[in-house]
A and B are shown apart, each in its own frame.
Chain A
Amino acid sequence: MTDTARAAAARMPSVGRLLAAQVSYQARLLASGRAITIGVGLPVILLIASHGQHSNTSATGIAGYAAFGLTLTAWNTYGVRLVAAREAGVLKRWRATPLPHWCYFLGRILATVVVAVLAGAATVAAGVLLYGTHLTVSGALGALAAFILGAFAWAATATALTALIPTVEAAAPTLMLTYFPVIIISGIFGAINEPHWLATIASYLPAQPLVHALGSSLGHTAGHALLPARDLVVLAAWAVAGLTAAIATFRWEPHRPAQRRPARQRRQPRPGDRSHQPAKGGHDAPTSLPFAGCASTCVDHYEAIEPSG
């Protein structure tokens, strides 16, 4: 049986297997990059540095630092890497494989969720170990749910934003400028209640509901909601809106700056020309046909003629 016949008879790998493999692959890439150390290390360092400030070592304070680690990973690290991969042609290469496009797209987002949740969990673990913060099983499960929903919302929205970022150089500034103002007004480093209108805006952005949901879970007490419904609705809305916008605007190919190229000059047909259907329209500029490389490979084989004495 020929290769072609065997391939035709063979079954394509299942999309479930492909998606699982892609999540695993992307998570390994993300976890092995140096950038991930910021998402995991920086929140823990800040948590240690804030030792003595009671409000920052409480459940709410730890929730803020955990949300910081999670969002750093799901927004900045993920976003910069996605733009870099697109501009390097990595996305284009994957697009040409038999992997369904949505598998690649969703695989990157889900892998980011996995790593971002681990980054957030590392901060919570540090808080529990360093400050003895009491954490119940239900509180931990509630925090996990908030982590997953929050990470998905941030990564999906970051995916949509990357469509607007033309170069790797522009990625970090764009992502930072859209990140720090949001997390600061959302109270990740301490609650900001005034002015009231700012707090209202923050409550509709994805950071404040994440911090609030995490704080409710980590400091859960009987009689209070483990996960406030309003926070979950806001995060879910960002997840759906981010994913929808990302699907609609996702770009696989590197950004190509607009160029003004002259129209081709019509060349005189030669015997043996195989092209057909002469183009219509103006051809008013000469076309340069530089050909580098050929001469060096084909010509420079001569030795000098020198007198033999």
Chain B
Amino acid sequence: MHNHTVSQLSQGLREGSYSSVEVTRNYLERIARLDERYNAFISVDETAALAAAEAADARIAGGDAAPLTGIPLAHKDIFCTKGMKTSCGSRMLDNFVPPYDATVIERFRSAGSIILGKTNMDEFAMGSSNESSYYGAARNPWNTGCVPGGSSGGSAAAVAALLAPAATGTDTGGSIRQPAAFCGITGLKPTYGRVSRLGMIAFASSLDQGGPMARTAEDCALMLNTMAGHDPRDSTSSDVPVEDYTAGLEKSLEGLRIGLPDAYFGEGLDSATGECIHLALKELEALGATLTAVSLPHSELTIPTYYIVAPAEASTNLSRYDGVRYGHRCADPADLHDLYTRTREEGFGDEVKRRILIGTYALSAGYYDAYYKKAQQARRLIRQDFLDCFQSVDIIAGPTTPGPAFALGAKDNDPVSMYLEDVYTLAVNLAGLPGMSLPAGFVQDKPIGLQLIGPHFGEGRLLNVAHRFQQATDWHTRTPGVGEHVA
């Protein structure tokens, strides 16, 4: 049953083919046996998981089941889980056990799903390879010498290795989509404000969004139904009504207008990857879509804009980690200054420190106008590019990443090269648009992903397109290991 999608498990549970306890136990056993290969999990609470599974079985028996009741899920260790360690991949929170749940977690609990464990991630969500985690790198199940992507690398690896049927991730610059692409799974970053950020440890407030990572678009739709919705405790949360994301999955793609930005198909894109993407696009054409070239004139500004806005916001979001009220505290601080500077020196890893410094610099006296303010102006231009495109196309498509997963350690000495991995994904966060990645082929025996981008609150359409694509292709059914196909 570990091959089953969430949708299949949901049906199986309701039909009584197996119990939630059996399913959960199955995954827990796989994690215990296999996770040391992938290091996808930071913590697992078997007792709590099985207790929740029992409760779910009772609920199912009582006829009160929701679609996700009894389904075990993995959650990125950025979502606060009450009574369960939440580290954010950092030494700073290695000892942090929150006395509250994130809203997303509350919703999953209310739906009756089970928490299998908390997944590995780049420290404070800053990274594209999961190598900056305090808990060590996670490894790509397709090639354990390669990165699974980041920052939601653990979630992607867990789903790809069938250690969980689905997982949650967060995406600030591509951190759901890129690892989904590298690991051959499906991942969705919703429209900014669609999913509550309360209890989701903040990296860059105006960019962060939580979203589902699973093996099918249908599963992502099921997950999104539970995750999405207005939260009055998050001022940036949208009160646009939530649709049923599973309702429109089967809609025909006839007449769908897909825009292909020249910027996403130019220099920098690995040719084999480009080939896969073109073939994938042909599939969409076969389903009735038309392809048009579009232009995103300000795409060159994306990387510098992102690498000013995100670190600036992060630099202040991380000021609260000071050793006073929770988390790491240095031993025997000599005075207040020592408490702060040494706690933060010890608690944060190198990449986090770098970004805090960049962010602090961008906001500092004399530089605010030239950096932060200018970046927020550029951001409006970048968003406008997309809005202009959506006047003539329904969605935008392209490769999720410039190539397949790179080797562990390959970008150790080159942070800028790491940043360039996100070149196709960053603008989506800057503009607040929904974006998805779905498996679209293999390069060097490693998965690559097709990215779909929609207008604000257009995730329903994206899921529909992805679903129809997945009905016509089978990339999403592949799993690492010989001959293991999903039924």
A binds B: no
Residues of B within 8 A of A (CB): none
